[in-house]
Structure 1
Amino acid sequence: MSHSHDQSEAEEEQIHFANVIVTFKNYAQYSLSANNRRRKDFFTLPKQDQELLERLGYKAKLDLVDNAILANADFLSKVVSDPEIFRPGIEEESATDSPTDHQQSAAGHSHDHVSSDHSHSHGGHGRSHSHHHSHDGMSRNRQRYKPTDFDMDKLRSTLKQFVRDWSVEGTEEREACYKPMKDALVSHFADVPASERAQLRVLVPGTGLGRLAHDVAGLGFACQGNEFSHYMLLSSHFILNRTTEINAHTIYPYVHSFSNVVSDQDMMRPITIPDILPSDLPPGSNFSLIAGDFEEIYGAESDPDEPQSGQWDAILTCFFIDTVLHLPSILHLTDYSLTRYPLFKAKNIVNYLRIIHKILAPGGVWINMGPLLWHWENNSTNDPSIELTLEEVKALAQSMGFTISNERTIDTTYTSNSQGMLGYVYHAAFWTAIKQ
């Protein structure tokens, strides 16, 4: 790879990261403006209709929503108050060679498993995915980045991820998704005394805000999470490393949409996080986070000091294997050390499973949980997309040398509003697979 191309990729990553910071900082302005639109619409109504709605408390509700948005903004400002840990030298209000609103940088490809209010999703699902690309012509006019609707949708979804991973309200989803995986992990290594689990290395790719990986480390395993989304990385760093009290923060994740709401109280209910103290792991726990693209980091022996092939005793994929995509490398974060990984553009489910098989130790276990929402299906950017049925995914895994067992279907939601009038239930596939 040429030096100029390397430099271009690094600049593009830094631009995207700066734009994510700007998105966090612009949350209040954007969200208050959206709420103020409701006020303007209210005053377009006939006077008698305004009076009827005012008796219901509609105008007062809008004021309460403003207050909730400001509380969210205060929390989000804390999340990005010290972004230099991820990208030294970020300016507070970045003026960047930014893409236009229709040209998201490649580092901005984000296919998280999120539930959003107005996302573009297949079959009405709640997990958003968008196909934004950088193009050859990034604007040469240096200007302050203006966050797009897509950017703000990602940020709102991040608030809901906090609910899923780090609140009492998220307990039901975590029990449905994480508990079967942790139980299967413990069962597979039942012959290993709990005191010796630290010798077993467990990888959790697509770790999001880190709760599953954190809980696995709490069971005594040496656990590493992997994540690529800047939204998730900033947020997980904050909750894992800079939160010192249970229920230290209060957010209002459901105030952004008035659709399918039973009551004002439901929409504006506060959620406190975290429900446990993230730093309260047993003495000697081994828990780390690697930031970057799964295929780049684990698919190539790019770092002689950290070989991957055959080095993992277990891999846990939760809502992950259908997120096949490419992102430029971001950074390598372990004990605050930064190391860049090279660009690797493979993008197919075959390679995902190949990497999982390759990096597992003989007899190692792959535990999977999730649906199959192929994020690039019917994309308009001419990116290749291979979409397999569940039976085909399992047959592919078997052809690569996995023996699948413990199969079942688990019904679960994902960042669902438990008190809303609309919810989607995934009939998620669960299995354990042993590398032969």
Structure 2
Amino acid sequence: MPHSHDQSEVEEEQLHFSNVITTFQNYAQYSLSANNRRRKDFYTLPKPDQDLLSSLGYKAKLDQVDAAIAANADFLSEVVSDPEIFGHDLSSVTEDEPSAESHSPMNDSPMDHSHERVSSGHSHSHGHSHAHSHDGAPRIRRRYKPTDFDMDKLRSTLKQFVRDWSVEGREERDACYKPMKDALLLHFAGIPATERGRVRVLVPGAGLGRLAHDVAGLGFTCQGNEFSHYMLLSSHLILNRTDKISAYTIYPYVHSFSNAASDEAMLRPVTIPDVLPSGLPDGVDFSLVAGDFEEIFGADGNEPQAGQWDAVLTCFFIDTAKNIVNYLRIIHQILAPGGVWVNMGPLLWHWENNTTNDPSIELSLEEVKNLARAIGFRISNERTIDTTYTSNAQGMLGYVYHAAFWTATKI
């Protein structure tokens, strides 16, 4: 029987997971309701105005958005059609459960690359699959109504699919992932391609898994680590249940009519994936571990991880730290002597001004680099890379990060 503290964590994680499933299941109702609000607003206008807008195709566009939302809902239902792979008892979760529960956003930013907050103290390691188990976990029966923030996370997940697994996302991926892969190849240039399997690479904050997948595709042994159930459920679909290119079609840009250059741009379909996820070279060791980076790889009695990794690749990740000192200390600890840390990303501190009373240490870029040096890294190959993050390439508004890039070796 688990200790009460452990049992409480299991119950909290299971509750959160059931809430995420409910969010996926309520996407259609929520999104169609938002679009119907536009329809109601249309009918409040004077009849001549209605006729004029109808002649421009506005009413027809609302119907097209409904159809796109329905298509998205079918896809999202597919994502959560096999939630048992996480080992949670979801028999009490239904599609129409109302509730007053809510989660508070950590950092309300225009370009959210945050991980939602869950309580999980368990490492679930697996090769090319997501197998989770909590023996004896109680059935969760609390009702839940997804909040606007929950739905924003889900809409962001659709855009993450574009970033990681579509042809359209290639430019953004190349800006971020290519310099990291190039730095990895350069650092291990002395190792023949046929022997890269003995180089162990960790990608924390792996998201939907594309960077980790591509690193494995180069022949390295690679493990991704991810905290978000939105990401874990979605990556399970792509990595383990998708057997053809362009298997799915989504409409990620239909949720807001603001800054739309044209109806076609807003309604355009995006097909995923652009590569066959299972098409990795024979014998490549590629896996994903679910859970909190600090709890899985941290120093709290978890010495087996020390010195076990040859490379750590952090892309849009280090600013998810509550305590950046601990993040960098862990990266240094788990690297083998002479190991390499490749970083790419901004400093959008995710816990700054949080409403959950969590601590947050926010450093400047210069302070982060000085901290890394003090912990025992030698930083080289520094530069700034301008990049977007889940940006709508055809929209009228875009946020550009002046992201910091560096290669650092463990002294």
TM-score of the superposition, structure 2-length normalised? 0.91
Distance 1:272 1:419, change over 3 A: same
Percent of aligned pairs with the same residue? 75
Which residues of 2 match residues 78-157 of structure 1 at below 5 A?
78-91=78-91, 93-94=93-94, 100-103=100-103, 120-121=108-109, 125-127=110-112, 143-157=142-156
How far apart, CA to CA, are the structure 1 residues paired with 2:274 and 2:113?
Answer: 26
2:231 corresponds to which letter in structure 1? M
Q: Is the 8 A contact 1:198 1:222 kept in 2?
A: yes
Structural mapping, 1:295-306, within 5 Å: 295-300=294-299
Structure 1 equivalent of residue 60 of structure 2:
60
1:161-195, Cα deviation, whole Å (9 max, x unpaired): 00000000000001000000000000000001111
1:236-289 CA-to-partner distances (Å, cap 9, x unmatched) read 000000000000100000000000001100000000000000000001011000
Quick one: higher RCO (CA 8 Å, sep 6+), 1 or 2? 2
Q: Is the 8 A contact 1:402 1:434 kept in 2?
A: yes
**Structure 1 residue 88: Cα displacement:** 3.6
**Whole-Å Cα distance in 2 between the matches of residues 279 and 128 of structure 1?**
26
Equivalent residue of 1:278, what SS?
Answer: coil
The residue aligned with 1:160 is 159
Runs of 4+ with >4 A deviation: 94-99, 128-134, 301-304
Residue equivalent to 2:311: 314
Change (3 A) 1:28 1:96: closer
Q: Do the aligned residues in 1 keep the contact of 2:154 with 2:230 (CA within 8 Å)?
A: yes
Name the residue aligned to 1:258: 257
Partner amino acid, structure 1, of 2:264 = Q
Question: Equivalent residue for 1:402?
Answer: 377
1:323 aligned onto 2:320: yes
Q: Are 1:15 and 1:97, in contact at CA under 8 Å, matched by a contact in 2?
A: no
Distance in 2 (alpha carbons) for counterparts of 1:234 and 1:133 = 14
Query: Which of residues 323, 334, 339 in structure 2 aligns to 1:359?
Result: 334
Compared CA separation, residues 413 and 80, structure 1 to 2 (3 A): same
Q: Which amino acid in structure 2 is aligned with residue 254 of structure 1?
A: Y
Partner of 1:171: 170
Amino acid at match of 1:186: L
Q: 2:200 touches 2:220 (CA, 8 Å); kept in 1?
A: yes
**Any residues of structure 2 matched to 1:270-419 within 5 Å, and which?**
270-300=269-299, 307-324=304-321, 347-419=322-394
Provide, for residues 80-103 of structure 1, a one-character-per-residue CA deviation record: whole Å limited to 9, x for no partner. 101100134222625999984445
Task: Give the superposed CA RMSD.
Answer: 2.3
- Classify the secondary structure of the residue corresponding to 1:322: helix
Contact 2:113–2:316 (Cα < 8 Å) also in 1: no
Q: How far is 1:298 from its partner?
A: 0.2
Secondary structure at the counterpart of residue 144 of structure 1: coil
Structure 1's 131 and 177: CA in aligned 2 closer, same or farther, altered over 3 A? closer
Q: CA offset at residue 377 of structure 1?
A: 1.5
Q: Determine the structure 2 residue equivalent to 1:19.
A: 19
C-alpha distance 103-161 of structure 1, shift in aligned 2 (>3 A): closer
CA contact (8 A) 1:98 1:142 kept: no
Cα gap change, 1:191/1:129 in structure 2, threshold over 3 Å: closer, same or farther?
A: closer
Distance 2:33 2:95 in 1: 22
Would you say the 8 A contact 1:204–1:315 is kept in 2?
Answer: yes
Give the drift of 1:202: 0.1
Matched, 1:420 2:395: yes
C-alpha distance in structure 1 between counterparts of 2:30 and 2:49, whole Å: 28
Partner AA of 1:281 in structure 2: L
2:226 corresponds to: 227
SS in 2 for 1:73: helix
Would the aligned equivalents of 1:163 and 1:271 in 2 still touch at CA under 8 Å? yes
Per-residue CA deviation, residues 350-383 of structure 1 (Å, 9 max, x unaligned), is 0000000000000000000000011121223332
Give the unaligned 5+ runs of structure 1.
112-119, 135-140, 325-346
Q: Hey, what's the Cα distance between the residues in 2 that align with 1:96 and 1:258?
A: 27
User: Which amino acid is the alignment partner of residue 385 of structure 2?
Assistant: I
The 1:58/1:97 distance shift into structure 2, 3 A limit, reads: closer
How many Å separate the matches in 2 of 1:273 and 1:185? 27
The count of corresponding residues between Structure 1 and Structure 2 is 391
Moved more, 3-12 or 198-207: 3-12
The 2-side partners of 1:27 and 1:97 are apart by: 13
Q: Distance in 1 between matches of 2:391 and 2:295?
A: 31
Query: What stretches of structure 2 of length at least 5 have no aligned partner?
Result: 120-139
Quickly say closer, same or farther: Cα 1:3–1:388, change in 2 above 3 A. Answer: same
SS at match of 1:296: helix
Alpha carbons 1:15, 1:98 under 8 Å: kept: no
Task: Give the Cα–Cα distance (whole angstroms) in 1 for the partners of residues 64 and 5 of structure 2.
Answer: 49
Q: Which one is further off, 151-160 or 84-93?
A: 84-93
